Structure 1
Amino acid sequence: MHQLTITAVTAADLDDLVPLLRAYCDFYRVDPTDEALRALAVALLDHPEEGVQLIARDNAETPVGFATIYWTWQTLHAARVGVLNDLYVAPNVRGGGTGRALIERCLRLCRERGVARLTWETAPDNHVAQRLYDALGAEKSPWLSYELEP
Structure 2
Amino acid sequence: MHIRQANLKDIEEIAVLFNHYRMFYDQPSNVQAAKKFMKERLEYEDSIIYIAVYKGRAVGLMQLYPTFSSISVKRAYILNDLYVVEEARGKGIGQQLMEKAIQFSKDKDASYITLTTAVINTTAKRLYERNGFKKETEFDTYNYSFI
TM-score normalised per structure 1: 0.88
Question: SS of the residue aligned with 1:92?
Answer: helix
Matched, 1:129 2:103: no
The worse-fitting range, judged by mean Cα deviation, of 134-143 and 63-72 is 134-143
Name the SS of the counterpart of 1:100 in structure 2.
Answer: helix
Partner of 2:146: 149
Q: Structure 1 residues 29 and 128, CA, compared in 2 at 3 Å: closer, same or farther?
A: same
**Paired amino acid for 1:118:** I
Read off the aligned partner of 1:54 and give its amino acid letter. Y
1:86 aligns with 2:49: no
Secondary structure of 1:64's aligned partner: strand
Contact 2:60 2:83 in 1 (8 A): yes
Aligned to 1:19: 16
Provide the rounded CA distance (Å) in 2 between the counterparts of 1:97 and 1:106: 14
% identity of equivalent residues: 26
Measure, in 2, the Cα distance between the counterparts of 1:88 and 1:147.
25
| 1:60-112 Cα distance to aligned partner (Å, 9 max, x none) | 11111100100011334432101000000111122221111001111111122
The number of aligned residues is: 145
Shift of 1:32: 6.5
| Stretches of structure 1 lacking an aligned partner (at least 5 in a row) | none
Structure 1 residue 33: Cα displacement: 3.0
Task: State the match for 1:66 in structure 2.
Answer: 61
Please report how far the alpha carbon of residue 34 of structure 1 lies from its aligned counterpart in structure 2 after TM superposition: 2.0
**Residue equivalent to 1:57:** 53
Structure 2: distance between partners of 1:5 and 1:141: 32
What secondary structure is seen at the aligned counterpart in 2 of 1:87? strand
Question: Structure 2 regions of 5+ residues with no counterpart?
Answer: none
Aligned-residue Cα RMSD (Å) equals 1.7
* CA 51–99 in structure 1, closer or farther in 2 if over 3 Å, else same: same
Structure 2 CA distance for partners of 1:33 and 1:145, relative to 1, 3 Å:
farther
